A and B are shown apart, each in its own frame.
Chain A
Amino acid sequence: MWQWFYKLGSPKIFYAMTERYLPWLTGITVLLLGVGLVWGLAFTPPDYQMGENYRIAYIHIPTATLAMGCYAMMACFSAGYLIWKIKIADMIAKACAPIGATITAVALATGSLWGIPTWGTWWIWDARLTSTLIMLFLYMGIIALRSAFDSVDSGARACAVLSLVGVVNLPIIKYSVEWWNTLHQGASNLSLSDTAANPPEVWVPAFFVGFGILCFFLIALILRTRNEILFRERRAQWVLELLSKGEAGA
C-alpha cells in the first residue's frame, strides 16, 4: 500500500499509471452519468411542490458538494507539498484551482436557475450563496497568485499558503444554513421508507449522477495534472522519448 503511494509520488509513474486507469474511469463516468441522468430527469416522478423544477438538483447538489470537496482536496495537496515537498502534490493542487472554480460557477449558475421558479429570485445575499461566491473568489485569487510568480517553486509555495488560509471558508459554507436561517434550505434527509420526504427513486439516481460527476472531475484533474507533468518534466529523458514516440506514431 505505502509503496504504491510512494510510486504515485513520482511524476513518471503517475503518468504511466493514470494512462492505464483513464479508459476505465471514462467508461464508469459514462455509465454512471447516463444511468443517473436518464433515470433522474425522465423517470423519477415530479415533486408535489416544485413540480419538474427540482430536477436541477441532480446537477446542483453534486456540483455544490464537489466545489467544496475540490477546495478541501486542493488544501490537502497544498499541505502535502508544503510539508513533504512532494512535487506531484503541487501539480495536482494547481490542476484543482481552475476545475474547482468552474464547478463552483456551475453550482452557482444552477442554483440561480433553480431559484427563479422556487424562490422567485435568482440571487439573494443569503449566507450560503455569499460564502459560495467567496469560494469562487478564493479560487480566482489562487489562480491569479500563481500566474503572478515567474518562479514555479515560489508560486507553488505561495499558493499552498493561500489555499490553507482559505480553508477557513469551508466550515462557514457547510454550516451557514444552520447558523443563519435564511432562504437556502438545510441538507435533506435520505430514507429508504416509501413515506419519507425523499423516497429512494428520488435520491438513488442522485447518487448515480453524484458519483458520475465525481468521476468526471477526476478525469479532468488527471488530464490537467498529466499536462502539467509533461510541461514541468519537459527536459527529462522519458518525456523526450514519449514525445518523439508520439511524433513517430502521428
Chain B
Amino acid sequence: MVAGTSMSMGSVILATIRRELLLALRSPGDVINPLMFFVISISLFPLGGGADTDFLSGIASGVIWVTALLAIMFSMDSLFRADYEDGSLEQLLMSPQPLYFLLLAKVFSHWLLSCLPIIILAPLFAEMLAMPDAGRMPLVLGLLVGTPILCLLGAIGMALTVGLSRSGLLLAVLILPLFIPVLVFGTGMVQAAMGSLPYTGLLSLLGALLIAAICLSPLAIGAALRISVN
C-alpha cells in the first residue's frame, strides 16, 4: 500500500480482507484447529454424559453454543498474534486510513474463516445431539447474528493481551464473562422454539447487541492495540 491516501475506503477494506484470506490460505492450521476443537469437544459430551437421546436433546443447544464460544475464543490468537510479531500491526496502526474500518474488515475476515465453518456444521451436530427439528433454524440464526458479536468482543480481549507472552488463559478470564449475554440469548432462542414459543424477540435483542458491538468495539480494539504496541 504505497499510495495509501489515494486509495478509496472500499478498496482498502477489500485489500484488508483479501490479505487476511490469503494469509489463512497459506497457513490453514489457524483456521482448521479451532474447527477441529469444536468438532472434537462436541463429541465428548455424548461420550462423557451418556448417549441417551432425551438427555442429549436437552443439552444440545447449550453444548453447541458453549463449544462454539470456546472455539472462537481459542481462534482469537490468530487475529493479531502473527501481525504483532512481524510488525504489520504497527503498520496497520500508522496507516492513514481510518483504523475503525480496517479493524472491522479484519474482524469480519476472521469471522468468515473461523465462525462460518462452525455455523455450517452446527445443524449437523444438532442432528447428532438429537435436537428437535424446531430448534435448528433458531440455532443457525442465533449463531449467524451472535458469533460476530463474539468475534468483536474477543478482539478487544486479544488486543489487550497480544503484547503479553503467555496470554491464553488470561484471555479466557477477560472475555468469557463478556460472552455470557450472547450465550444466554442464543440458547434462549433454541429453548423458546423447542417449547413452540416465538423467538424473534430474542433474535432482535441479539441483533441490537450486534449493532452496538459493530459501532463501539472497533474503538475499544483500536485503543487496546495502541496500548499493546506502544
The answer to whether A and B interact is yes
Main secondary structure of the interface of B (DSSP, over half): helix
Complex Cα distance A130/B181, Å?
10
Q: Tell me the nearest residue of chain A to B217, going by C-beta.
A: A165
Least Cβ distance of A126 to chain B in Å?
A: 12
Least Cβ distance of B221 to chain A in Å?
A: 9
CB neighbours (8 Å) of B164 from chain A are 148-149
0/1 interface trace, chain A 114-138, chain B, CB 8 Å (1 if under): 0000000000000000100010011
Binds A, one of B66-74, B75-83, B222-230: B222-230
CB neighbours (8 Å) of A141 from chain B are 173-174, 177
0/1 interface trace, chain B 124-146, chain A, CB 8 Å (1 if under): 00000000000000000000000
For chain A residues 130-165, which have a beta carbon within 8 Å of chain B? Answer: 130, 134, 137-138, 140-141, 144-145, 148-149, 154, 157-158, 161-162, 164-165
CB neighbours (8 Å) of A80 from chain B are none
Binds A, one of B7-15, B112-120, B155-163: B155-163
Complex Cα distance A141/B178, Å?
10
Complex Cα distance A82/B227, Å?
11
Q: Tell me the nearest residue of chain A to B223, going by C-beta.
A: A161
CB neighbours (8 Å) of A172 from chain B are 181
B contacts with A, residue count (CB < 8 A): 23
Question: Are B227's CB and A145's CB within 8 A?
Answer: no
B89 at the interface (CB under 8 A from A): no
B22 at the interface (CB under 8 A from A): no
Complex Cα distance A244/B178, Å?
47
Q: Tell me the nearest residue of chain A to B160, going by C-beta.
A: A158
Question: Are A148's CB and B178's CB within 8 A?
Answer: no
- Known contacts: A148-B167, A157-B227, A158-B160. The answer to whether A164 contacts B220 by CB under 8 A is yes
Question: Are B177's CB and A145's CB within 8 A?
Answer: no
B180 at the interface (CB under 8 A from A): yes
A46 at the interface (CB under 8 A from B): no
- Known contacts: A138-B177, A157-B227, A162-B174. The answer to whether A145 contacts B220 by CB under 8 A is no
Question: Are A145's CB and B181's CB within 8 A?
Answer: no
0/1 interface trace, chain B 161-189, chain A, CB 8 Å (1 if under): 10110010010011011101100100000
Q: Tell me the nearest residue of chain B to A147, going by C-beta.
A: B170
Least Cβ distance of B110 to chain A in Å?
A: 18
Q: Tell me the nearest residue of chain B to A125, going by C-beta.
A: B184
A98 at the interface (CB under 8 A from B): no
- Known contacts: A157-B227, A164-B220. The answer to whether A137 contacts B160 by CB under 8 A is no
CB neighbours (8 Å) of A158 from chain B are 160, 224, 227-228
Least Cβ distance of B155 to chain A in Å?
A: 11
Least Cβ distance of A101 to chain B in Å?
A: 12
A200 at the interface (CB under 8 A from B): no
0/1 interface trace, chain B 43-83, chain A, CB 8 Å (1 if under): 00000000000000000000000000000000000000000
CB neighbours (8 Å) of B167 from chain A are 148
Complex Cα distance A51/B194, Å?
41
CB neighbours (8 Å) of A165 from chain B are 153, 156, 178, 217, 220
A–B complex contacts, Cβ < 8 Å, 19 sampled: A82-B223, A130-B180, A130-B184, A137-B176, A137-B177, A138-B177, A144-B174, A145-B160, A148-B161, A154-B227, A154-B228, A158-B160, A158-B224, A158-B228, A161-B156, A161-B224, A162-B160, A165-B217, A168-B178
For the complex with contacts A137-B177, A145-B173, A161-B223, 16 further pairs of A-B residues with Cβ separation under 8 Å are: A137-B173, A140-B173, A141-B174, A148-B161, A148-B170, A154-B230, A158-B227, A161-B224, A162-B160, A162-B174, A164-B220, A165-B153, A166-B177, A166-B178, A168-B178, A172-B181
